[in-house]
Structures are given as structure tokens and as C-alpha cells.
Structure 1
Amino acid sequence: MSDRRRVVVTGIGVVAPGSMGREGFWDMLTAGRTATRRITFFDPALFRSQVAAEVDFDGRLLGLTAHEVHRNDRFVQMAMVAADEAVADSGLPLGSGAAGAPDPDRVGVALGSAVGATMRLEQEYVAVSDAGTHWLVDPRYASSFLHHALVPSCGATELAVRFGAHGPAVVVSTGCTSGIDAVGYASQLIEDGDADVVVSGASDAPISPISMACFDTIRATTGNNDDPEHAARPFDARRDGFVMGEGAAVLVLEELESARRRDAEVYCEITGYANRCNAFHMTGLKPDGVEMAEAIRQALAQGRTAPDEVGYVNAHGSGTKQNDRHETAAVKRSLGPAAQRVAMSSIKSMVGHSLGAIGSIEVAATALALQRGVLPPTANYEVPDPECDLDYIPNTAREQKVDVAVSVGSGFGGFQSAIVLSRPSRRTP
């Protein structure tokens, strides 16, 4: 443990519903505003769930070229915009060849995505099949970049080219934990000495007819179409499913001593990461939360962190009956008596559930909370559920300085992940 390289976050970029950029995102969270509305991307009238948290996004207005917009799916475009903000925030001249730029062979990329270019793939299929009229599709109507829509690795490739990253490049696709897992994997690359800097995060743009139909079928999304603003209600007794969202968050991870040498601003240190699989059911969760609890315990142990040091838990908090029960049990099981004193909240109540992207968006929110001493609330929390009996920071942000925070994620397929963020001053080198 003594010779383990320490990893810190020195840049954050966010593309989220209801806001644009890191500061707009933070202002929205701390104000407790929700960004959920009736779907505008297509006519949702035939769907059970007709609400979503959409991003008002235009790549050209946010600095992308016409070529970049033409060849890339929306999820890649959002990742590029978020990464531009994160790299600028870090102060690292990545890909520039300027003095002080890191060795390109020591710069990596780790991008998470649950569903990749679903939106582009669906649009292309509509074109080549003439809206489903023909079983044998006509390739003459396909874009020359159709193959980008098929392979989610195009996201990592675009970021690697953009920042001249010649080190490890990977796409992590573990469903709804993809965002946490990508950041955790990036942290491990630096800890193990395989990279000095990693551009890491996740992006997803799943608000399309095929995605909505998938979640309608299993009734995981909310049916509260009459009141979109209050449809996402994690931990509330009236919750009836999650609100689909979209977005991206990218973080710049860097070895601590390197960041100190260049006097970089440090948001937080990543002191532990772990993931588990419950090997139980593709969509079901056992109520005892054992696997998530084990992920939390392992992540804390990596950084020699005691449960009673945790001051905040950024919850998965999807707003489904079983998830919120499962997660509450996992926090109690892993933190013990300290769980009753820990503040916990779900930002999905405000920005929806952007599948693979949400994990990195939540890590970004947790890093900002540590740095700024303000904990975001759980919006729309009004009716307590006896089975969910922790402190969920109802409706109003809370000024509270914490030294250690945990962000957790739970995904279909049984994935359970936890990442621990700490103030760098908590431990001496």
C-alpha cells in the first residue's frame, strides 16, 4: 500500500439535462431543479412511459465542426464536448505538443457507454429499410459512417485522436455502472503505472423509440406522464420507476505528484474502487444488498478508510421499488451503525437516468460536493418509505463539508460498483 500511486481528479466536464457545462450542472443540482419533461425527440404517445430528461444539445454551437457532427452519434458528440471542458479545466495541454504536455504514450482514454450509438443506428435502419417497409435493406441509403453506429469503440477512438492519447484506450460497457467502472478502470491504470493521465468518463444518448420500448416492456420506467417534473422520485414511497435521461461527464485523472508539480487544482483523490456481480437475475435484485455492500467494503479497504469516515453517499437511487430497497440495505450492511448518520442523495431525481453515462455524471457531482462543501439533494422526496429509512437529503441542498464520499451504481445484469472519493489532505503521501 505504501508505494501505491495516488490518483486525483484535476478536470471535470459535464453535459447534462437542464444545463450545460460543469457550473450550470452544479447550479441546477444545488438549486434542486428537475429537468424532466415530456419527450420531444419523437412522438411518445404510444409508449407507456412518455417522459425523459433531454439535453438541449447542439454540437455545432458547442465547438464541434460540421465534420465531427456528421460522422458521430449524439453520444460521441456529447463525450467530445464534455472532454473539451474537462481537459481545459485541468490545464493540461493534451495533444498540443506544447512545453509541459504529458508524454502521449502515457496518456490514456477510458470511456463508458451502456448502449453506444443506439440513436444513430436506429435512424440509419429507418433510412435503409424505408421505415421498416423492406426486410432486405438498401445500403445505398446508409451513411458512409454507419459502421461508427455499430461499434461503441468509436467514442474512445474520437477522444484518443482529439487529445493525442497514444496510451491505453478502452470502452467499458457494463450497463448502468459503465460510468463508475470507466473511472475506476482509469484510476487503476494510473495506480498500476500504465498511464500518468487518463481522460475518463461516460456518455449515452438512449432517448429513442427502441430504448424506450425496451424499458417499457419490463416496466422499469415511470408511468407518471401527467407530471413529468415530479416523475423521478427516488426513495419516496410513491416511486414507480426511473425517468430515462441522456448526457455525458468526463474527468481528467492524474497522478498526484504530477498534479502537485504543476500546481494544478485538485478536486479530490480516488482512493478506492470495486465492482461485483450478483449472478442472480438479469433485472432483479435481492433485497439484502450483499454484492453492493461488498463492493463498498472493498473500495473503502483499498484506501484504508473506515466506514465511520464516510460523510456522503451519492446513491444510484433509480426510483424503482427494488433498487432503492436494495441500496438502502447495502449501505446499512457496509457502513454499519454509521449508515444512520450518513447523508445520502440521488441526483437522478433531477437529471434522470442516462444509463451508462449517469455513473460518471454522479462521480462528477460527488467530486464537486467534496470540493465545495455542499451536498446535492434528492428532489421530489415527500412521502417516506418505511423500507427506505436513511437520510436522503430531501429537496434542499445541504452545506456540509465531508472528507470522504462514496458513489455507488447498480446495473441490469447484476453489476454493483462503488468508488471512494476523498479530500487529498486526508492522507499524507
Structure 2
Amino acid sequence: MSRPDDRRVVITGIGVTAPGAIGTKNFWQLLTDGRTATRRISFFDPSPFRSQIAAEVDFDAELAGLTPQEIRRTDRAAQFAIVTAREAVEDSGLDLGALDPARTGVTIGSAVGATTGLDQEYRTVSDGGRLDVVDGTYAVPHLYNFLVPSSFATEVAWAVGAEGPSTVVSTGCTSGLDAVGYAAEVIRDGLADVMVAGATDAPISPITVACFDAIKATTARNDDPEHASRPFDASRNGFVLGEGCAVFVLERLDHARARGAHVYAEVAGYATRSNAFHMTGLRPDGREMAEAIRVALDEARLDADRVDYVNAHGSGTKQNDRHETAAFKASLGEHAYRTPVSSIKSMVGHSLGAIGSIEIAASALAMEHHVVPPTANLHTPDPECDLDYVPLTARDQLVDAVLSVGSGFGGFQSAVVLARPERSVR
């Protein structure tokens, strides 16, 4: 038995700001072309660091339409969120002025908040690190906004005129999945009709690079940045840091149908689990991710063999790729071997909290176009990763249901199921 339409939540608008591609159309073109946006870091001199590459967004806040005041008071990640939310709302066709603002909410995910702004301001007030006691008179007037990630949700709420539930979700690298899952639950609980939801991060800074260097999580393949991100490949040796944002308009299915909106997908199922095991380590059996997948499929009322595509976390670390391969086998059974799996981090890097929403965007667009994006740079599969990872080239395929998963430091494991609203249920 399916949910009534006023309890079903659908995506009617998508906005994307990603490395190599600003805007949803450009983003999808990059993915289906199999192009990579990874390169040597240009934001600062990376030569002192072990990993010197990243997936940077070629973003100009003024050209993107932000006012001087918006630019002055916001961190780069917040700027991404404002611009991307506006694209999502425009794509949805919603007339914000006709909505009840108290029934419109915002949920924004972020793993590391205003890292770029804080890094820049520290260098300013400390005179490049030379002062033990910093001089706060040199700080920007809105420095407090950089210290509190809640400012991200505030800025998006102002941009779209939302006066309903507003929150920030910060669960490490699953933040982007969790923000969308949480927003869908807010609508199902009857607390809002429309939610503007997604995630943003701009972590490419010396402090972030140094932290990942310390645990050797990022790749040191500095001589070949374009091919450095190699999920599921036997030669992979860590992920490539990225940045970016994706934001969606979510609304009740009956609300969308009443206004004749285009529906990309239904957010049919969501679940999150924690492994309570290790800050960065993963059990090899993938049990917690498998459990999140099982619960998400149950909420979606979808049998495992109805999944047409899996958008993997696919970070390109050896333990993660093996962990989620085991999770897919445990949760999907034999169907795992028949299901295409791919990682878009091979092309746009790992933007920490933002990547889950960027991957949901890729999943919804895969359904829209019946095309599975590829895993770039996959030439020699790891024998322990023996599923169909769609190497190198996008694939035409009927896609009516997608499973998108994420794994984050702290033990977070999340899964989102997207499906066509007209699908049959159990």
C-alpha cells in the first residue's frame, strides 16, 4: 500500500554549483562526457603539502548575481548556497510570492562550515600567523556569520523568503544526504508544504589539506591531477578534495501536481545509521551501510531487485570502496551483481558535506535522462571490488529507481532512495 499524495515528497527543482560546471545543465553534461574537474590547487601555494590537487569551482560571486553586501557578509560556501538555491527555485517554477512563507522551510547541510572565510580572516587578524594575540579590528564586520554554520540556512531562507522550519545539518560527509532526508521528513510530518534543501561546502584551504594529509586520506598523485581520483581502481590511493553545492525544491506530491510542476523524482526512502566503531575506520563487512540501505528500501516499499542504479559514495580510498561493495552485496543480494554502480567523485572530487546532495542531483538526472554516469579513471578494477562500476563511459539504461549512499567520518552511513512517483509498490 502506498502513501497518500499529501505524504509523498518529490523533487521539482534542482540547482548545482560544481567543479567544472556551474548550473545543472553544465553539471550533467560534464558527468555524461566523463570529464574530470580535478587539477592542481590554485587557491594557495600547495607545494608544502603531500596532496596538492583538488576539484575547484570556477566561481565569481559578482557574475553569479550576488550583491556587494551579500558578498561582503558571506563565506564562499554560503555564496554557493544562495546562488544554487535561486537556480533550484527558478527551475521548479514556483511563485514564491504566492506561497505561505510559514509553510516554506530550509535545510542546508555542511560538514565544515565557513572554512574558507575563517581561514582568510585568521590570516588577516594574525598578520599571516605572526601575532600570538590577534587584532580583531582587522576582521570583517560579519565575522560572527563565519563562526556559526546556521548562517547558511539563514542566508538561503532570506534568498527564497522562507519563514518555516529552518536548520543546518552537519553529519560529516553524509550531510548532503541527511539534509534532503530530513527535509522530506519535515514535509511528511505536515510541518511544511515546500522545503528548499541541499548542502554546501568550500573546504579547499591549507588547514583542510593539512588535516587530510596527516591521515593520508587524500591522494598524492600530484603529477596527474586529471586522473588522480580513481574509485574502485586497483591503483587508487586516496580521494581528491573538492567543493560545491546542490540544492533542491522539495514539495508534497499533491502540491506539485496541483500546479502542474515537473517532477524529477520522489524521495521515496531515507535512513541513516552510525557504526559506533571508529572516527575514520570502517568495518569491512559494511554492515551499518547495508542496514541503512535496507531501511531506506523498506520505507520506499521497494524490493532490492527494483533498484536500477546505485550512486556510490566511491571516495577512492581502499577501505571505503571495499566497505560499500560489501554493503551492496549484503543489502541487494545477487541483484548487486546486475546493478550498475558508479562514483561521480571520480570527476568532481569529494566536497565533504556537499557531495551527498551533488550525488542526489546526479541520481535524479540519471532518472530524468535514463543515463547512468560513469566512473572516470577506472581502468584496472580492484579484484575485491567486483561489481559493475560503469567504467569510463556513460551508459544508456532505463532508470526508474536509484539508491544513493554516503559514508562519513564519525561512523555515519546514510542512504536515499529516489523513484518515479508512478512506480508500482509492493
Structure 2 equivalent of residue 218 of structure 1: 215
The equivalent residue for 1:5 is 7
Q: Distance in 2 between matches of 1:417 and 1:227?
A: 32
2:356 is aligned with 1:354: no
Query: Structure 2 residue aligned with 1:374, among 353, 371, 375?
Result: 371
Task: Tell me, in whole angstroms, the C-alpha distance in 2 between the residues paired with 1:182 and 1:354.
Answer: 15
Is 1:128 the equivalent of 2:125?
yes
- Whole-angstrom distance in 1 between the partners of 2:220 and 2:3: 51
Residue 125 of structure 1: how far off its partner (Å): 0.7
Q: Out of 273, 277, 299, which is 1:276 matched to?
A: 273
Alignment match, 2:78: 76
Gaps in structure 2 of 5+ consecutive residues = none
Partner of residue 60 from structure 1, selected from 51, 59, 62: 62
Cα distance per residue 1:203-262 (max 9 Å; x no partner): 000000000001000000001000000000000000000000000000000100010011
Partner in structure 2 of residue 28 of structure 1:
30
User: How far did 1:115 drift?
Assistant: 0.4
Deviation at 1:132, TM superposition (A): 1.1
What displacement does 1:163 show? 1.2
Query: Residue 241 of structure 2 aligns with which residue?
Result: 244
Question: 2:410, 2:167 → 1: CA distance?
Answer: 21
Indicate conservation of the 8 Å contact 2:371/2:394, yes or no.
yes
Does 2:403 align with 1:401?
Answer: no
Residue 212 of structure 1: SS of its match in structure 2?
helix
Task: Name the CA distance, whole Å, in 2 between partners of 1:82 and 1:130.
Answer: 34
**What is the SS of the residue equivalent to 1:216?**
helix
> Percentage identity across aligned positions?
67
CA-to-aligned-CA distance 1:45-69 (integer Å, 9 cap, x gap): 0000000000000011011111111
**What TM-score, normalized to structure 2?**
0.98
- 2:106/2:153 contact within 8 Å kept: yes
What residue identity is the alignment partner of 2:393?
T
Cα distance between partner residues in 2 of 1:127 and 1:343: 48
1:76 offset after TM fit, Å?
0.3
Matched, 1:255 2:248: no
Give the Å deviation of 1:120: 0.4
Q: What is the root-mean-square deviation in Å for CA atoms of aligned residues?
A: 0.9
**Which of 47, 50, 53 in structure 2 is aligned with 1:51?**
53
CA distance in structure 2 between the partners assigned to 1:154 and 1:74 by the alignment:
12
User: Using a 3 Å threshold, how does the CA distance of structure 1 residues 427 and 107 change in structure 2: closer, same or farther?
Assistant: farther
Q: Is the 8 A contact 2:86 2:159 kept in 1?
A: no
CA shift digits 1:67-124 (9 cap, x unpaired):
1111100000011111110000001122xx3xxx221111000000000101100111
Given that 2:364 and 2:418 are in contact with CA atoms closer than 8 Å, whether structure 1 keeps it comes out as: yes
Q: Verify the 8 A CA contact 2:20 2:348 in the aligned structure 1.
A: yes
Residue of structure 1 aligned with 2:195, choices 188, 198, 204:
198
State how far apart, in whole Å, the 1-side matches of 2:368 and 2:128 are: 49
The 2-side partners of 1:295 and 1:59 are apart by 37
Partner Cα separation in structure 2 for residue 427 and residue 261 of structure 1: 21
Structure-2 residue corresponding to 1:144: 141
CA separation in 1, counterparts of 2:110 and 2:372?
A: 26
Q: Distance in 1 between matches of 2:90 and 2:319?
A: 40
C-alpha distance in structure 2 between counterparts of 1:220 and 1:258, whole Å: 44
Q: Deviations over 1:153-190 (max 9, x none)?
A: 11100011111111100000000000000000000011
Runs of 4+ in 1 over 2 A off after TM superposition: 1-4
Structure-2 separation of matches of 1:405 and 1:218: 32
Deviation at residue 303 of structure 1 after TM alignment: 1.3
Residue equivalent to 1:417? 414
Q: Give the alignment's TM-score, normalised by structure 1.
A: 0.98
Offset at 1:296? Answer: 0.3
Q: Identify unmatched segments of 5+ residues in structure 1.
A: none
Q: Does residue 1:87 correspond to 2:89, yes or no? A: yes
Superposed CA deviations along residues 256-297 of structure 1, whole A, max 9, x for unmatched, are: 001001100000001100000000000000000000000000
1:266 maps to 2:263: yes
SS at match of 2:167: strand
**Secondary structure, in 3 states, of the residue corresponding to 2:106?**
strand
Deviation track 1:391-427 (CA, whole Å, cap 9, x = no partner) reads: 0000000000121110000000000000000011104
Partner of residue 329, structure 2:
332
